Structures are given as C-alpha cells and as structure tokens.
Structure 1
Amino acid sequence: MTGDQPSDPLGDEGALGTPWLPSAAVLRRHGARVLDVGRGAGAPTVYRAGVLLAAEPPSLDRCNGVLASTGMQLTADPDARLRERADRRRVRTVHLAATPDSDPAQVDAWTALRALRESGHGDHLSLDHLLFGASLIEGSPLTEGSPLTEGSPLTEGSPLTEGSPSTGGSGGRRPVDLILPAPPLRRTAAELGDRRPVVAVLDTGIATHPWLDVPAPGQPMPVDGFTSIDTDLQAAILAGQERLIAAGNRLQRITDAWERPVRTGSVVGALDSHLGHGTFISGIVRQVAPDATVLAIRVMHSDGVVYESDLLTALDHLADQVEMAQAGTGGRMVDVVCLSLGYYVEDRGDARYNIRLKDRVNRLLAAGVVVAAAAGNHSTSREFFPAALPGVMSTGSFNPNDAKAMFSNDGPWVRFWAPGAALISTFPAVSGSRGPVWTAQAGNAAGRPARRESLDADDFSRGFASWSGSSFSAGLAAAEVAAVLLANAGTDPALRLSQLDTPSSRERASRALMAFPE
C-alpha cells in the first residue's frame, strides 16, 4: 500500500534504475506500509501502520482531539508511568487505533502523524520505521515471484545463466565448500594480557558454528568463547513487542538471540532472504579479528526486517552498559557496534525526526564506541540511515577488483569503503527445499556418487557461503577496527583496552579510525 506524498520530495536526486519495494507479504507480516516519495527519488520509506514513536509522553486528549476527524486515536499504555519513572530516556511506542465507529483498516501512522504535525502537536512524534538488512539477496523484492526469474528453468541453475549479472550469481548468496583452514586460534586471556575488544552485531542473531564457538540452541555458551549473547537485552526487546501485540499490533516476535525463520505459514520450506545474515557477519569478524568477542544481538527478522523501536531499545541498552562500565558501576564494555541495516527518511524536512536514532548513536559515539553502518545497496545517493548520521563509519562496497560495487549507495555521506562483493564467510548449516534444477545418473562406480546435479543453491550444509552487500562491508569495517584496537593496545600502553574510562575509550576510537582515511 502506498501512502500520500510527503510535502518535500527529494526530486530526481539519487534516482534508482529500478524502484525497490518490499513485497506485499512482508508488509502484511509486519503490519507495515510504504510511503513512496515518488518522482524517481529512490527507495521509499517503510513504516509500522499502527505505531508511533514518542520523544516524550503525548497528551492523549490534545492529540485525539486533532485525530478525531481521521477516525484514529492514540491509546494509553497502562505501564507507561512505571517505565517513565524507571528511565525517561527509554524509547516510547504509542499505539494507534481506530475510533469505535471507524474502519480499523484505515489506521495509518503517516496520515495521523501529518495531521498532528500540521496542528502543532506532532513534533515529538515520528514513524516507527522498518529498517532492512543491507545485503544483496536472490529472491529480492525486485524479482520475487516474477515468472521471468523465479524458479524458471531458463535462469535458475542453468549453465547458460548461472553467475550472470542478471541472476543470483552477481550478488545472491551461494553455498561454497571451503578448503582453507580455520582462522588462527584465539589467544587465551592470559596470552592476550588485555581485555578483548567487543563487537556488537545487531542483526539476525547467531547459529551453531564451530568457528564461532556457538553450541546447539539451548546449550550454555562457552566461557570466553568468540560469541556471546545478552539475555537481558533480548528479554527487553521481547517485552516491548508483547506490549504492542497486546494493543492489537501485527508483528513478529523475537524471542531470543538464535537465528530462526519468520513464521509465514508456508509449508514450502524455502530459506528466508536474510537467514544467516548475522552468522555471516560474525564469521567476517572471526576471520579478521579472532581475538575479539562478538556480542550477537538479534533485532533483525530472517526476512531482513528490523523494527526501529527494537533497534532503539538495543542501542539504549548498549549505551547504558558502556556508561556503567566506564563509571565502574558494572555494565559491559562494547568497542564497536555493527549496524548492517538501514532505512530512508521520508523527506529532507523530516530528517530532523531522526532524533530518536541520532540521540542513541550519539550516546555511543560520546562514550568512545565506533559505530560502523552499511551504506545500502540501491545505487542511490539518497541518505541511508543510520549510516548517514554524523560520526558514523558509513561504509560502501568495493568489488574484488577494488572498483566501487555497482549496487552500493554513494554520496558525500559515504565516508568509508571496504570489500563487499562475493565475500565468503560462515553460514548456518541448513538446507532449504529448492534442490538442484538438473539431476542425472552418474553410473555405478564403486565409492562414487550415483548422481550428477547442478549446484543446489539452497544447500548450505557445509556451513559456508558467498554473499554480497554493504552489510558485509560494514561488518568488515567493524572487524578491522577491532583488529586495529588490539594492535594499538599492543604497541602503546596508553591505548590498552583494560583502561575503561571515557577519555581513554575516546582516544582509542580516534586512533583506530586514523587507520581508515576517509
């Protein structure tokens, strides 16, 4: 569904060759709608239809007086006062509902927000955007379901087209069989002689993989393993989702840190578009900075969707943890945050309403945490947030030959570049239902397989994949920062990671970023 045009469209700047739109199934699944800025302005804004974000508690009487003519109303949260007293900085989600005599299908956050802003009561309110993982995928919204591409014997697995720029071989994930040895073993804490740098990967969570020290779901995480999780944060994200569900919102729950497919009701068994996204990024960190620790935080669903309200909850929690650690009152240090996700703001005038996201990123930056974010994959100069926020390590993608990848967003706001095309990393050992397109008998030679087949692009049982996207450029940038932090700490005592105070953290971050000239 397309909303009304905003008041200040971006015109033709950064126009896309092909418009990007999430599928109708994704919109329904997450209770979302599309605000298409139109006139070739690039990728549209996607938002939750029944939710607004508030910087301060809204005046229900005043707001609902304005909204009466729209057939909508804001509803009170019975626990809001308790949460306000606990911490006034927390993200506030406000539920939008139909008035008793109105059609619930007409509830639309953008229509309500525009009416409130025009009346002078909406400056503290904003949309709850859907952010999307910034990876190139086979079965993307550009081609999903098309009779020309989807499962066609003319394109899928055909030796005439496989790896063609017009099919998945140019950017879609592919299983690979890795024959290289595993990355170097991590040094023990005693051998390291310092605190490990922590890279928080806010993504699809974790999956079992030997490179990542991740056991089977439900088993305890190893002490001082490469990957760690934060059960308190995952519980806070789930609690926020449960409140919105209780208020009548349609959304998908995130119950814990483990990679899981979204619930679609499908019995086909195909792998979700972003399944393995977080595991792939964690593997990049493992290859580049094996002595680091990945803090895997699940905010992204396996179809690539991130609710802005969940992301804000996670960023709040991380900033709290870092500030407590620096003050010596508990908490946990985080050195780098990887955000391989993003969205496009409604228009230039509405960029100021990024304050919800900007405030939380600024808290991390002020604490000396490096924030690396993906520039996006829509070949546009239109700002992709959070990458376009000041101070963020906004990262675009190179091809293997060091040319800028055709898919990568670009513009003055993209300040860093890293390889992001056809990278190889860890992936959940899963197999989908698609199977090979071509199979044939191969004879009966003893000890040899009895069949031939084309590549099964849905079989990742070896646990490795090739994938492309600025998601992975950002993951690589985050990993390289962690490696530089370790190297600097080994040569300069003033940059040791065990020094937790804020000035030391800021100096470490500043010196690390000097290794990556803009």
Structure 2
Amino acid sequence: MIKIRVISDGSSGKEHESGLTRYVLPAVPQAVLQRHGARVLRPAEAAVAKGWPKPNPTIYRYGVLLVPRRLLDSATIVTLNRVLTDVGMRLVRPDATDDQPATSDDDLDAKLPVAVELGVAGTFKPQAVDAWTALQRLRAEVTALREACDSGASTDTAALESLAGVVDAISLDHLLVGSATDGSSSTIVTGTNTASNGNPDLNNLFDRPAAGTSGRIPVTVALADPGQIYMGQNASRRPVVAVLDTGIACDPEHPWLTPRVERGANGHEDAVVIVDTELQKQLEAEHVGERLLSIASYADEPSIEEPLLGDLSTHAGHGTFIAGLIRQLAPGAQIYAVRVMQPDGFAPGSDVVNALKKIAYRVRRAQSGQADGQAVDVVSLSLGYFDESADERNVTIALEPVLRELTELGVTVVAAAGNFATSRKFLPAALTEKLTDKAAAPMISVGSLNPNGSTSRFSNEAPWVTCYASGAAIVSTFPAFAGAQNAPARTGRRESFDPDDFASMFGVWSGTSFAAPVIAGLVAARLHDEAGRHDRDQNSAARVAAAHAAWENVLKDAR
C-alpha cells in the first residue's frame, strides 16, 4: 500500500534548523565532472568578492554563465568583457543575438537567462576559464564602483546602477543531480559516496534494501499490465504528466509503457507515453558548452557508463522507473517523457530550465487551441541542486520564474526533496517556500517513506518539504539492461540470483526520486474524470481550482 504523510503545521525539519551542517557535498567522480564541464565549488578555495557571502559547496559548469536574454546586446557584453579582461576571460556573445536586445513573442523567454560561454580574452593569460571567478570579478567591480560613489570619488551613479543591475542578474549554471540512491553497483563496494548516491552513510549496506552489492535490483512481478482505462466521462483528453528525466525505455519498449507516440501524431488520444523528437533536438541544439553524450534522443540509454567495466550507470533506467510508478497509480494518464538527464544522474540547470520553458510554451499553445500545443497537468522533477548561499540574490533566477509560469497556467509541479539527509535547501524542491500563491496550481516537494511508514534515513527533511510518500524499496518498470555483475554461481541453465540483469524489465529502487512521481501519479489520477475540461478557458482560474481540488483529494486519502 502506498503511504503518504503530510506535515500540516510546518514543523518538519524544525529540529534540524539550527544545525544545517551538512554542507560538505559527497564526492563527485572526476569522470563525471569532466563529462559535464563542471567543478565543485569548495568554500576554502573560493575567491569571494568584497561584500558578498561566503559560499557553501555546490556543483557548477565552469565554462558558462547564465545571463538574461534581454542583456545580450553588444553594448552590455562589451562592458562586461572590459571588466573580465584582467582575469583573462570574456563572454562569447551567442551568434544568434542581434545588436539589439533579444526579444521574443514568448514573454517567459525574455525573463529567463541563457547559458553564455566563457572564453579566453585576447592574449592568453595563465588563468583557467572559471565561471565562479568571472562572477566574482564582476561583483568586485560593482563593489568598487559603489565605494567610489559613496566616498565621493565618483559621481557616476548611473554607471553603478546599470552595472549592478546587470551583474545581479547573472548566475552560475548549476549541475542538477538525480535523487535515486545506490544506483551504481560499485559505489557501495568502494565506499565512495558520490552525489548520485545520495546520503553519504558508511553503513548503507545495512540501511537500504540490497541484494548483494546493489540497491537497484531486478524483481519479477505477478501483476497484470495496468491497461489503458477509459477516458473520464467529463474529460476531453487524458491527464498528462511530464517527466523530465533520463528518457523512456525504447529497445525494447516496456510492455507497460506502450503504445508510444510522437507528440501530435495520430493515435495520440490513447497513447501511454508521448515523446517529442522535435523538443529533444531543440534541447540538444541549444545546449551551450561541450557535451559528451547527446540528448537528441528520448531513449533512456546508454545503460553502461564505462564499457571496460560494464557497470550500469547510476541513473540508467531512472526515467523508465518513474514512468512506471505513474502508470501504476494513474493508469488512465499519459506520460510526456522529456529527456534532460544523463544516465550518470546529472543535468545542466540551463538544459532543465530550457525544457521547462518549452513545455510552458506548448501548454500555452494547447490552452489557446493551437494544434502544435501539448497539454500538461503535472510536472514531475526528480533532480535538484544545492545553491552556494541562502543569501544569494539571484540563485533561483532561472528556475523560479519558469516554475511560477507553469503553476500559473494550472500545472501542478512535484519535486523530489533530495537524498542527502539534510535540511539544507535542495532546489527546485525548496521553492515551495516561494511558490505559494493560491491563484496558481500547487508546487509540492516530496520526501521519502520506508515501507513501514517511517521517514527514509536518506531523505532530506525540512520545513520546505510539503509531504512524504513511499519511496524506499518500491517496485516499478525498468529497461531490459544488464550490467557486468554475473550470477555468483552458474551451471548450464541454472544460476544464482544476478543482481544487475534486468531482463524481467522490473526492479526495486529507492529514493525521493520515486516518492515524487508517487504524488504526481496520485494527483493525475484525481484529474482523470475531468481532464481537459478547462483547457480552453481564457483565464486559468478554473484550471488552478481543479489542480488544488486534485491535491486536496489526495490528502483526504493519505494512505
């Protein structure tokens, strides 16, 4: 039985507030950092501009900064590059940007930052290209101008206000990590606690469900295919849950996740999974910086991270597992599978924001009756990051506005609370503190419960966690992947249990990654009978009311 626990008085995590000491991030393998062009920001080593807060650890892409599109005019870039010259860096203005500030008929697009590449300035200087260093140099310039104006050495307050406004809007491109535990068979054996492994607990062999040395294990199920149930009697379509993750099993397709169709194709009405090749190609084409593995395909692959070792990647199968949970809990819903995460469990924040922005655009098009739109009722996010400081002025500059846009359109957003056993804010889940407008659909952050109803030891727990749901030792769909571990004993066709052969296409896994889609599926199920009824309403009030009613109905039966 699925379990839910809701903290109605906001007390969850209060006992931990005075001890937010879990600031040390688990180790991130160098191969992962290199793959994503990323670094760990280490407070003891980080340069900090005068007047700005000392950072806490975070993971960021060193070759890019996030700059609002409206600021990408040539004059602004020239000003910023003049400041950056003395640290040997420059912002490489995107080729597609005209001399005038970029505009769009999409209002959201104008609000959001885009990734802008950093390069070496002029004559090469022995200075590594680094986004944090560049950001601190820009902030230092603002501080110097402010001090000059305050002392009377300068009267150019207009220049100060202009530069301060620009620099305040620039931020790091954080690397988001998925929230499944013990994804790698080698993680527990070596004792290395990687970011994709969750809570760094040396006793994890005993604290988590395990077969041999893997927390993600194959199982056989005797359950029938959930089937595609009837469309709701007052519905014009099926409820749709967008899953931004590692993609969907394709070769072979999972029998519980078929039929699969392209967005807008014939037969769309009764599909279980909707994929969007056009969107995937756009996300790949618009990615800034190097990437070793493309996301132009929606397929949940490859399964093996290092062919010479053969271990399954930590988050291979992650998106398929999430899709299966939604399928079980909302068998009449459709899953809109959007690939943003690599099988190693990481995704650039700029890619995630770009995907959310494009989904919001498709939702608006659908609500205005356009054939190229795509209705979405719930967004499920099982990934996140720690910001470098609670005092940062703009750390949520990208995620907050796009999630606000979605909720204002009537889309419920459900986010995993994270697996680091901390009350430190994990974004986007911690945005529940800000996205509380009753005139918008709910944003829900979800921690994990064990099968007995207790809070999972790995789960984050804090006042910003909305609720807790079953997330440990939970069963769902999995691609037919097979890793390098063999059955310990084999004779002919007889063998002992093979802990990483998923030929059964089902598995057991744990993490707040899976508690979040439990809630997303339950909400979608409550929308089933009247899905799409208010799609064409000119204002979103009815859609927002339906979203709140669905969530309230889940809470009435919190079992």
**TM-aligned CA deviation for residue 21 of structure 1:** 2.4
**2:273 is the alignment partner of 1:227:** yes
Query: How far 1:137 sits from its partner (Å)?
Result: 2.0
- SS of residue in 2 equivalent to 1:343: strand
Distance 2:356 2:313 in 1: 26
Q: Structure 2 matches for 1:71-220, cutoff 5 A?
A: 71-81=88-98, 84-86=102-104, 87=106, 88-89=109-110, 91-102=113-124, 106-120=128-142, 121=163, 122-139=167-184, 143=188, 145-146=190-191, 164-165=206-207, 168-169=210-211, 172-183=215-226, 185-189=227-231, 193-207=235-249, 208-213=253-258
Residues 1:27 and 2:59 are matched in the alignment: no
Deviation at 1:116, TM superposition (A): 1.0
Conserved 8 A contact 1:194-1:497: no
Q: Does 1:376 align with 2:421?
A: no
Question: Which residue does the alignment assign to 1:334?
Answer: 376
AA paired with 2:19? E
**1:148 & 1:474 partners in 2: Cα distance?**
23
1:172: Cα distance to partner?
A: 1.8
CA 1:440–1:76: 2 relative to 1, 3 Å: closer
TM-score between both structures, scaled by the size of structure 2: 0.77
Q: Deviations over 1:348-406 (max 9, x none)?
A: 11163312110000000111100000000000000110001133200001110111111
Letter in 2 for 1:127: L
The residue aligned with 1:152 is: none
Output the amino acid matched with 1:31: G
How far does the alpha carbon of each residue in 1:125-164 deviate from its partner, in whole angstroms, 9 at most, with x for none? 1111110111102438965745999xxxxxxxxxxx9963
- Where in structure 2 are the equivalents of 1:39-78 lying within 5 Å? 44-55=57-68, 56-58=70-72, 59-78=76-95
Counterpart amino acid of 2:237? R
Per-residue CA deviation, residues 328-349 of structure 1 (Å, 9 max, x unaligned), is 3442210000000000111011
CA contact (8 A) 2:315 2:343 kept: yes
Q: C-alpha separation between the residues in 2 aligned to 1:308 and 1:386?
A: 10
- In structure 2, do the counterparts of structure 1 residues 352 and 147 end up closer, same or farther at CA, with 3 Å as the change threshold? closer
Counterpart residue number, 2:364: 323
* Residues 1:409 and 2:447 aligned together: no
What SS does structure 1 have at the residue aligned with 2:392?
A: helix
Unaligned stretches of 5+ residues in structure 2 = 1-15, 46-53, 143-162, 195-202, 436-442
Q: CA separation in 2, counterparts of 1:148 and 1:124?
A: 34
The residue type equivalent to 2:71 in the other structure is P
1:261 matched to 2:279? The reply is no
Aligned length: 475
Q: Is the 8 A contact 1:50 1:109 kept in 2?
A: yes
- 1:37-92 Cα offsets, whole Å, 9 max, x none, are 479x9983111110111123242221112111211111121112399244552542
TM-score (ref. length: structure 1): 0.83
Q: Distance in 1 between matches of 2:447 and 2:407?
A: 20
2:551 aligned with 1:513, yes or no? yes
**Aligned amino acid, residue 324 of structure 1:** R
Distance 1:43 1:472, change over 3 A: farther
Q: Distance in 2 between matches of 1:317 and 1:253?
A: 18
Q: Which residue of 2 aligns with 1:343?
A: 385
AA of the residue aligned to 1:136: T
Q: Which residue number corresponds to residue 403 of structure 2?
A: 361
Unaligned 5+ segments in structure 1 are: 1-9, 150-160, 442-448
Q: Which amino acid aligns with 2:255?
A: P
One-letter amino acid of the counterpart of residue 171, structure 2: S
Pairwise CA distance, 1:500: 4.9
Of 310, 331, 334, which aligns to 2:351?
310
Q: Distance in 2 between matches of 1:141 and 1:15?
A: 28
Distance (Å, rounded) in 2 between the aligned partners of 1:376 and 1:61: 40
Q: Distance in 2 between matches of 1:104 and 1:172?
A: 45
SS where residue 228 of structure 1 aligns?
strand
**Alpha-carbon distance in structure 2 between the residues aligned to 1:142 and 1:509:** 40
> Mean Cα displacement is larger for which, 198-207 or 330-339?
330-339
Asked whether the equivalents of residues 50 and 108 of structure 1 are also in contact (C-alpha less than 8 Å), the reply is yes
RMSD in angstroms over aligned alpha carbons?
3.3
The residue number in structure 2 matching 1:238 is 284
Report sequence identity in percent: 38
Distance 1:235 1:326 in 2: 24
**Counterpart Cα distance in 2 of 1:326 and 1:265:** 44
Return closer, same or farther for 1:104/1:418 CA change in 2, 3 Å cut-off.
farther
Which of 492, 504, 508 is residue 466 of structure 1 equivalent to?
A: 508
- Which amino acid is 2:182 matched to? I
Deviations 1:12-56 (A, max 9, x none): 8333397412111100111100113479x9983111110111123
